């Protein structure tokens, strides 16, 4: 059987599963989520092994930034789902006297989830939680660059869902760009894509052909502003953690620092101290083998090129090991906006530093002149500065006095804006994203108000 034929069979099975109506029952979805939770626990060791092979992630990092977050989210959804899934009643109005408005939250049908390699479990399975909760069937297409993780996800899904429900409820299709392109040529009822901005455009174009609604979770350069009144030592600790987690291969990692000139030296000193504290003074040498690696040679080469071409001063790190695709956490000072490292999202363990003295001209001006970032981080003790920055700069989401952690909340929608994407998910917002909210007016038959109808007397005019 040809590859296209196989894909069409997978899609057909998913469609049939949806149309047999089982997923409309909220109790079925809760049972599926419980099985998902148990499956994740059963497969925990295998999933961790795959993350180690693809990215050299330590068990601690694998659990805290992927598996643990998934288990937490499933727990929250199971508790709340019956409430979320009920039709929502809304207020009436004078014109609609006697009628009731209700919003039904119905599944779209069959959804396609395309995910990247950097958090291969979290970024395929967290959207899947939302898709299941809302009553959809799903096809997952994990990234080919995290091949071990993609295979581990396929095993998890096979063991968790296919054994109990048969084919069609959740399917995993492994493969690269060609597979993704073939899937995108088919008609789905919703597409949830996480990846780069360029590929996001390709996905949206393909979706437009079938008028399929999409969520695009994209990337970009996320600024990290450290103002002169910040708690600099604490800021350094939180920035080092957020930036070098997964070797900087995190969509919401601080891409670059904008620091007030008055505290720049102090910040750099603390950043260096924190790097030593977390990764040791020789991070590439044993026993620090838990430093995540760069995903492949192409990305390794790209980062090395950035390192060589920058006009800045490397104040820490800058050491690479090609055979293990490792790059030491690196801080680069004396960067200007036109340095090559400021052109594209870095997506690796290189942290450029630009200093400023004028918040308006040297921070707000240049940031708003560039594509809207996925995240922004602001370190300052002043509420006035917080509100000023938050009101002037548009970005997907972010933190005041922290980095990356907004992603951990299951009570706030996570997503981008402008070039960093659109739509949000996590917790209730995932349920909302994967549901069509169908407005239904239930009219009374106990009486019939005459005002809306035309009469011969008023010449068929609307009164
Ligand atoms: P990518 O866009 O190259 O790949 C993502 C997925 O799209 C993969 O499954 C891949 O097979 C598929 N794909 C690649 N090229 C394609 C094409 N031409 N047509 C159809 N499908 C294609 O992204 P990546 O390198 O895997 O991940 C890194 C990017 O993702 C970064 O820009 C990062 O910021 C972004 N990202 C965003 C988030 C978020 O939540 N917003 C999370 C993680 C990563």
- Helices 122-133 and 26-42: angle between axes, nearest 10 degrees: 160
Task: Note the helical H segments in 166-296.
Answer: 177-185, 197-210, 232-244, 264-279
CA angle 120, 325, 199 (to 5 degrees): 45
* 184-236 residue pLDDT tens: 999 999 999 999 999 999 999 999 999 999 999 999 999 999 999 999 999 99
Share of the chain above pLDDT 70, in %: 97
In this prediction the ipTM stands at 0.97
Which residues, 6+ apart, have CB-to-CB distance to 343 below 8 Å? none
CA nearest ligand 1 atom 10, residue: 143
Q: Which of 115, 177, 179, 195 to mutate to test the pocket of ligand 1 (most atoms within 8 A of CB)?
A: 195
So what's the pLDDT on residue 121? 98
CA nearest ligand 1 atom 42, residue: 251
Query: For the chain, what percentages of helix, strand and coil (3-state, to nearest 5) are there?
Result: 50, 20, 35
The residue written with tokens 């949206």 in the block is 204
Residue 316 bears catalytic tag: no
> Lowest mean pLDDT: which of 90-104, 160-174, 300-314, 321-335?
90-104
- CB-neighbour burial class of residue 106 (10 A; exposed 0-12, middle 13-18, buried 19+): middle
With a cut of 50, say whether residue 277 has pLDDT above it. yes
* 241-257 residue pLDDT tens: 999 999 999 999 999 99
Q: Which of 196, 201, 221 to mutate to test the pocket of ligand 1 (most atoms within 8 A of CB)?
A: 196
Q: Which helix (H) or strand (E) holds 391?
A: helix 383-392
CA nearest ligand 1 atom 43, residue: 251
List the structure tokens of 151: 């295979």
Contact between 401 and 240 under an 8 Å Cβ cutoff? The reply is no
With a cut of 70, say whether residue 461 has pLDDT above it. no
Residue 224 bears catalytic tag: no
* 27-79 residue pLDDT tens: 999 999 999 999 999 999 999 999 999 999 999 999 999 999 999 999 999 99
Please give the radius of gyration of the chain, using alpha carbons only, rounded to the nearest integer.
25
With a cut of 90, say whether residue 240 has pLDDT above it. yes
Q: What is the CATH number of domain 223-408?
A: 3.40.309.10
Banded model confidence at residue 462, pLDDT cuts 50, 70, 90: very low
CA nearest ligand 1 atom 1, residue: 195
* 401-453 residue pLDDT tens: 999 999 999 999 999 999 999 999 999 999 999 999 999 999 999 999 888 88
What is the distance between the alpha carbons of residues 249 and 448, in angstroms, rounded to a whole number? 63
- How much is the mean pLDDT over the chain? 95
Mean pLDDT across the stretch 160-168?
94
What is the distance between the alpha carbons of residues 126 and 69, in angstroms, rounded to a whole number? 9
Q: Please choose, from the candidates 206, 186, 31, 217, the residue with its C-alpha nearest in 3D space to the C-alpha of residue 124.
A: 217
Ligand 1 centre from 91 Cα, in Å? Answer: 42
Taking the domains of the chain in order of start, what are their residue ranges?
1-218+420-440, 223-408
Q: What is the CATH number of domain 1-218+420-440?
A: 3.40.605.10
């Amino acid at each position: 059987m040809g590859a296209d034929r196989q894909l069409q069979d997978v899609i057909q099975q998913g469609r049939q599963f949806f149309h047999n109506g089982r997923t409309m029952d909220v109790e079925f979805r809760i049972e599926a989520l419980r099985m998902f939770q148990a499956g994740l626990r059963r497969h925990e060791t295998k999933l961790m092994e795959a993350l180690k092979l693809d990215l050299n992630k330590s068990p601690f990092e694998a659990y805290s930034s992927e598996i643990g977050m998934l288990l937490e989210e499933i727990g929250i959804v199971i508790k709340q789902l019956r409430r979320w899934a009920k039709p929502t009643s809304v207020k009436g109005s004078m014109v609609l006297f006697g009628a009731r408005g209700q919003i039904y939250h119905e599944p779209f049908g069959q959804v396609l989830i395309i995910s990247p390699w950097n958090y291969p479990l979290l970024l395929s399975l967290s959207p899947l939680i939302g898709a299941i909760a809302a009553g959809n069937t799903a096809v997952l297409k994990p990234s080919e660059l995290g091949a071990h993780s993609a295979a581990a996800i396929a095993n998890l899904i096979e063991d968790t869902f296919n054994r109990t429900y048969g084919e069609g409820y959740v399917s995993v299709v492994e493969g690269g760009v060609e597979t993704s392109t073939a899937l995108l040529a088919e008609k789905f009822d919703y597409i949830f894509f996480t990846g780069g901005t360029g590929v996001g455009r390709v996905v949206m174009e393909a979706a437009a052909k079938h008028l399929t609604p999409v969520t695009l979770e994209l990337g970009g350069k996320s600024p990290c502003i450290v103002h002169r009144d910040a708690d600099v030592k604490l800021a350094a600790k939180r920035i080092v953690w957020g930036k070098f987690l997964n070797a900087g291969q995190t969509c919401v990692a601080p891409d670059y620092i904008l620091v007030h000139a008055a505290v720049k030296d102090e910040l750099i000193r603390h950043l260096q101290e924190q790097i030593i504290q977390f990764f040791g003074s020789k991070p590439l040498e044993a026993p620090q083998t838990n430093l995540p690696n760069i995903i492949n040679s192409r990305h390794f080469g790209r980062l090395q090129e950035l390192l060589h071409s920058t006009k800045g001063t490397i104040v820490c790190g800058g050491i690479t090991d090609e055979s293990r695709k490792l790059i030491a956490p690196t801080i680069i000072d004396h960067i200007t906006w036109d340095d090559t490292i400021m052109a594209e999202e870095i997506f690796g363990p290189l942290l450029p530093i630009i200093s400023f003295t004028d918040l308006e001209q040297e921070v707000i001006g240049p940031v708003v002149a560039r594509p809207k970032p996925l995240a922004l981080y602001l370190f300052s003790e002043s509420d006035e500065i917080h509100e000023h920055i938050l009101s002037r700069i548009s970005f997907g989401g972010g933190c005041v006095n922290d980095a990356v952690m907004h992603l951990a909340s299951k009570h706030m929608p996570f997503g981008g804006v402008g070039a960093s994407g659109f739509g949000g998910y996590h917790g209730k917002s995932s349920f909302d994203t994967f549901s069509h909210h169908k407005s239904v007016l239930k009219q009374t038959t106990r009486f019939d108000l005459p005002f809306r109808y035309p009469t011969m007397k008023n010449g068929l005019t609307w009164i």
